[in-house]
Structure 1
Amino acid sequence: MHSSVLSLAIKTCLITGFSVFSSFVFAADKTSAELVDAVNGTPDLTSREAGKKVKLRNHAKGFCTSGAFIPNPKLQDSLAIPFFKQAEIPITARFSLGGTNPHASDKGAGRFMSLKIDGDKESLNFVTTNSPVFFASNLEEFFNFQTKVKQGAEGKQWLVENQPNAKAFFDFINTLQPSASFANSRYFGVNSFLFSANNGDIKPGRWSFEPVDGVINLSQTQLEALPSDFLKQEMLTRIQQKPAKWDLYIKFAEPSDEINDPTVLWPESRERLLVGQVVIDGRSDSETATMQCDKGIFNPVLLPQGIKPSADPILNARTPAYIESFIRRQ
């Protein structure tokens, strides 16, 4: 690795709280570089170098804004997470679409929300999607999915015939309607984390965000009347008049639930605990952290005391891949 790139990698890892060595080599069938190539569609040296020149990235179309997180005071009755004892914690948020096309149409159904909640001494990041269904249970499936979808109909058919998790994902996406706003969408953390309870127990759970203003979807007629770039302006105009809000929940697993496979949905009957509320109002949009949030990464395993990552291979490959992508964009 070139010394300047290694230096940048070390700096990035210090910022994100991640080991430099695990950023590039980890116990998996696929390396960080291979995963990024699959997502970016850069399978060879020529395409990879071309991608670096245009700073190719996933979730290329998006924007940053800001707000605050207000913890639920009653959370301390059950969970031992000191981070949430603060009254209000600043948020940097990025809303985006999936894919590497910065000019993608907003009329698709995919919506993504990433958050950095930076407390007095610790931070908590989220990487979420509006689909609770994930398409891969391991890195081999993830690599296959990202590679095959770029081959068009033929590749998608291969996935349908050969990867049941991909087929289940496609079946769900076909039923997903485009939301009228980023603010009117649910968001899910498909990966599991381990939460420390006051009684000493470790409780596996997953994050979910429920929009306070409710889920509002667009009809086909409404969608056709909108421009292809309506989401950013709608959101920024909205929060000038009224904050966008979500209630953040942890959905806890029971002993029979699969913890380390993000393709497995847990029953709706599982216990949920209100963690607090996300309030996006643009209060810090003129500050450097917000204006430059596109230049960094959102690290889902940068966690405060009382929360640890599960052994989910998809979760534990995210940050190394994000850092690899970050370095290529420099």
Structure 2
Amino acid sequence: MFKKRLYQSISPLLQASIYVSLALLPTSIFAAEKSISELVDAVNGTPDAASREAGKKIKLRNHAKGFCTSGTFTPAANIENQFNIPFFEQQEISVTARFSLGGTNPHASDKGAGRFMSLKIDGDKESLNFVTTNAQLFFASNLEDFFTFQTKVKQGAEGKQWLIDNKPDAKAFFEYVSQMPKSSSFANSRYFGVNSFLFDKPDNSQIAGRWIFEPAAGQTALTQAELATRSDDFLQQELLNRIETAPAVWNLYVKLADSDDVVVDPTILWPESRQRILVGQIIIDGKRDNESNVQQCDKSIFNPVLLPEGIEPSADPILNARTPAYIKSFIRRL
């Protein structure tokens, strides 16, 4: 907790220096199964020195196709009755958002099902970051399986079939994704934090939960006929045009774990019957899009374990590898 508060109190320049220092620490601190460099290479498809060097030259990254915009976060009334998180006592907090597709191809088609939303909510003294996807289910429960999945999918149909035949979690993920609707907008997609966090309650106990963003306007899927009329690049302009008229709004919930729910495995879905607590609203309106931190958000890291007092990461190995992996990828793009 002390280190987190120290980090949040220093300048952006010193923060960048800490990022570099963290990236130089022994990777075994962060990942016992696979090194952070190996994980980044698997995601980027850079398994050797030559491909790694080529990737650096073009600033290779995951979620390469994306854009930044802005808005606000308004905490729910009386949220202090549910959680002991002082961050939520603020009235309105600035948000920087990045909407994206998965993968390293900056020219990927928008006609797939995948949608991603990353957020920085920067309060007076603390920040809360999110890295979310419209797939509620993850494809790996540990770093070895994560590495294997990322390596095999780069091999195309043969690699995917190997995963289906040999990795039950990957098979379940592919089946889940095949049933996902293709939304007509980033604005009418649900988004999920697949990893779990620990939330302080007013009695100073903790409870595990997962983030869920529900679009206030509801979900809207495209039919195949409608999809055929869209370009491969329709999502960005659709959202930017939309928020010129009315903001895109999501209700943010924490879905609470029951006593028998597995907290550290993102491949296991919790039942829909679990209690959900409304935390607040995300309102994306683009009103701060001319600010430099929004315009340059592509050059920053959305750190899902940069958390305010009262929220802590669970022991999920996928979650705890994210930050050092993002840092490693960021350093390679400098």
Tell me the TM-score range normalised by the shorter chain.
over 0.9
The residue that corresponds to 2:175 in the other structure is: 171
CA distance in structure 2 between the partners assigned to 1:13 and 1:187 by the alignment:
32
Whether contact under 8 Å (1:24, 1:324) holds in the other structure is no
C-alpha displacement of 1:18: 6.5
Aligned-residue identity in percent: 65
- The alignment status of 1:231 with 2:254, answered yes or no, reads no
Provide the rounded CA distance (Å) in 1 between the counterparts of 2:23 and 2:333. 20
Write the distance in 2 (CA, Å) between the matches of 1:173 and 1:305: 35
TM-aligned CA distance change 1:96 to 1:219, over 3 Å: same
State which of 56, 62, 77 in structure 2 corresponds to 1:58. 62
Determine if the alignment matches structure 1 residue 313 to structure 2 residue 312: no
CA shift, 1:22, in A, is 6.6
Contact 2:23 2:327 in 1 (8 A): no
Determine helix, strand or coil for the equivalent of 1:179.
coil
Dislocated runs of 4+, deviation >4 Å: 8-11, 15-20, 22-25
Alignment of 1:1-330 (within 5 A): 11-12=15-16, 14=18, 21=25, 25-330=29-334
- Cα 1:146–1:73 change in 2 (3 A) is same
Unaligned runs of 5+ in 2: 1-11
Query: Could you tell me whether the CA contact under 8 Å between 1:83 and 1:119 is conserved in 2?
Result: yes
What secondary structure does 1:73 align onto?
coil
Which whole-Å deviations, capped at 9, do the CAs of 1:190-223 have from their partners, x for residues lacking one?
0000000001210000000000010000000000
Q: Which amino acid aligns with 1:278?
A: I
CA distance in 2, matches of 1:273, 1:15: 33
Corresponding letter in the other structure for 1:148: K
Residues 120/190 of structure 1: CA separation in 2 closer, same or farther (3 Å cut): same
Aligned-CA RMSD value: 1.8
Q: Contact 1:23–1:324 (CA<8 Å) still a contact in 2?
A: no
Question: C-alpha offsets along residues 52-105 of structure 1, whole Å, 9 cap, x if unaligned?
Answer: 000000000000000000000211012100000000000000000000000000
Shift in Å, 1:27: 3.8
Counterpart of 1:322 in 2: which secondary structure? Answer: helix
| Shift, 1:12, TM fit | 2.7
| Distance in 1 of aligned mates of 2:123 and 2:155 | 43
The alignment partner of 1:215 has SS state of: coil
Residues 329/15 of structure 1: CA separation in 2 closer, same or farther (3 Å cut)? closer
Q: Give 3-state SS (helix, strand or coil) of 2:78's partner.
A: helix
Whether the 8 Å contact between 2:23 and 2:328 is mirrored in structure 1 is no
- Gaps (5+ residues) in structure 1? 1-7
Using structure 2 for the length normalisation, give the TM-score. Answer: 0.94
* Range with greater deviation from structure 2 (23-32 or 138-147): 23-32
How far does the alpha carbon of each residue in 1:133-154 deviate from its partner, in whole angstroms, 9 at most, with x for none?
A: 1000000000000000010111
SS of 1:273's partner is strand
Distance 1:274 1:118, change over 3 A: same
Q: Is the 8 A contact 2:64 2:105 kept in 1?
A: yes
What TM-score does the superposition give when structure 1 sets the normalisation length?
0.95
Contact 1:10–1:20 under 8 Å retained in 2:
no
Note the C-alpha offset of 1:25: 4.2
Change (3 A) 1:218 1:280: same
Does the CA contact (< 8 Å) of 2:20 and 2:331 recur in 1? no
Return the offset for 1:303.
0.3
Give the Cα separation in 2 of the matches to 1:74 and 1:256.
28
Figure out how many residues of one structure are paired with residues of the other and give that number.
323
Name the SS for the 1:258 alignment partner. Answer: coil
